[in-house]
Amino acid sequence: MSKKEVHISPFQIGFVLLLLVFAPIAIRCVKTVNPGYVAVATFFGEVQQKSYGPGLHFPVNPLLSFTEFDARNKEHKETIGVPSQDQLTTQIDVSVKYRIDGAMVGRILQETGLAEQVLAVHITPAVRSIVREQGKSIARAEDFFREETQEQLQGGVLSQLVDSLSDKGVVVEQVLIRDINLPKNLIQQIERKKEAEQEVERQKAELERFRTQQEQQVAEAEAKLDAASKEAETIRVLAEARAFEIETLTAALANAPGYIQLQALEALQSISEDPAAKLYFMNGDAPMPLPLMNMGLGNSK
């Protein structure tokens, strides 16, 4: 079996050689930047101020070297000892939300370096220093738990960080206080104070209950007194009516002696109807009244 000879022309060899030489150069003429990133170019160590946003860039100088920065939102957390005016140090967990300014990546690379160096050189020291400085305006450590104090601290730190880091290519968007840990001795004092306040509230509730009971008892006593007063008034009115009746009757009898005699005769008549009765007639004018007559109406057998 004869071997088939493969004939390669000089043109084909030249094309392959040309392709091998210029293909890497052609590839370097295209730059692709991933979403959320910004690239900055250097030309033989000299930083180019032009930045390259996400997407395909063509043509670019194949002699350029590119450094990419992550320009997406990030969060940096710090636990900082913050002294207050009462000379107590409170541990505060602070969270800072920020991002790299894509328009300033050239300056960042030239003056600071990579994103990790921006965090270490600018962001972390600024956060620690500013939070401590803001804490000096707080009178007492326990005031850190007050909502208005936290809002004041967050707003003050955010404002100063924006002013401090904006020219460093860092955009600070938000500052949040995550947690507050007071000194142990202060926590114990607060717990004792809280227990005392709870005891005071309990005593207040007990006094309120006692006061309510006393008010109920007073109301019941007043009701009984009112009822007794009404009953006494009723008795008094009845007594006055009875007295008036007796007074009226006495006056009437004084003006009608014949009525008394008539009543006496009717009484004697009633007594005389009893066979066993005896009648005694008394002289009412004598100092020692004696019987004038003793009449037995019954006949003994």
pLDDT tens, residue by residue, 90-112: 999 999 999 999 999 999 999 99
Quick: pLDDT tens for 272-290. Answer: 666 665 555 555 554 444 4
Place of tokens 């003050």: 156
Quick: pLDDT tens for 223-277. Answer: 888 888 888 888 888 888 888 777 776 776 666 666 666 666 676 667 666 666 5
Neighbouring CB atoms inside 10 A of 96's CB total 24
Percent above pLDDT 90 for the chain: 42
Q: Are 181 and 117 in contact (CB under 8 A)?
A: no
Quick: pLDDT tens for 60-93. Answer: 888 899 999 999 999 999 999 999 998 889 999 9
Q: Which of 73, 89, 101 is nearest to 168 (CA)?
A: 101
Please report how the helices 257-272 and 184-254 are oriented relative to each other, as an axis angle in degrees rounded to 10.
Answer: 90
Give the strand order in the sheet containing 37-43: 46-52, 37-43, 65-70
Q: Which helix (H) or strand (E) holds 32?
A: strand 31-33
pTM > 0.85: no
Per domain, the residue ranges of the chain are 10-70, 74-182, 184-254, 256-296
Place of tokens 């004792």: 192
For domain 74-182, the CATH architecture is 2-Layer Sandwich (3.30)
